[in-house]
């Protein structure tokens, strides 16, 4: 909720100031255009945040269906999400209803720390693999220099 407010407020301020500046330079006043552009900016910012969060939620549902299912059930136990089959946890189940989209976004917000841990572990594995490759390449170069 706070992120929606911050996103809306920032776009509200930017659009409001831009509208007021343009209006003031063209018409000599910018009070009413500032108000109108600020309102429009907040709406556009909030809608943009909603859309990007929804896209992220659907992507995480495809990648980690069991994790999202766990968080859906933890946040909304009366909905019986743990009884859903894996085949039912598809983005299509959530795209058609704004209520289901809201549930999915809430689940993503609570699952985000676990998703971050998964990414951190993957990153550590990749870093270690890259270090091993560099060490092997350096050892190979050292052998070539010593032999050469």
Question: For residue range 2-33, what is the model confidence (pLDDT) as tens digits?
Answer: 777 888 888 889 989 999 999 889 988 888 98
Classify burial at 13, counting beta carbons within 10 Å of its beta carbon; exposed 0-12, middle 13-18, buried 19 or more.
middle
Rounded Cα–Cα distance for residues 47 and 45 (Å): 5
Rounded Cα–Cα distance for residues 60 and 112 (Å): 9
Instruction: Encode the chain (148 residues) as per-residue pLDDT tens digits.
Output: 677 788 888 888 998 999 999 988 998 888 898 999 999 999 998 899 899 999 999 999 999 999 999 999 999 999 989 999 888 888 888 888 899 999 999 999 999 999 999 999 999 999 999 999 998 888 888 777 777 6
pTM exceeds 0.85 for this model: no
């Amino acid at each position: 909720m706070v992120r929606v407010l911050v996103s809306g407020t920032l776009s509200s301020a930017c659009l409001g100031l831009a509208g007021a500046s343009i209006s003031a330079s063209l018409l000599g006043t910018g009070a009413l255009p500032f108000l109108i552009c600020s309102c429009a900016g907040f709406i556009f910012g909030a809608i943009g945040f909603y859309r990007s969060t929804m896209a992220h939620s659907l992507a995480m549902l495809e990648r980690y269906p069991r994790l999202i299912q766990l968080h859906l059930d933890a946040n909304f136990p009366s909905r019986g999400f743990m009884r859903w089959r894996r085949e039912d946890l598809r983005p299509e189940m959530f795209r058609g209803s704004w209520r289901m989209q809201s549930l999915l976004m809430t689940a993503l917000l609570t699952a985000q720390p676990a998703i971050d841990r998964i990414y951190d572990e993957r990153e550590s594995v990749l870093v270690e693999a890259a270090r091993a490759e560099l060490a092997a390449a350096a050892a190979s170069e050292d052998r070539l220099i010593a032999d050469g």
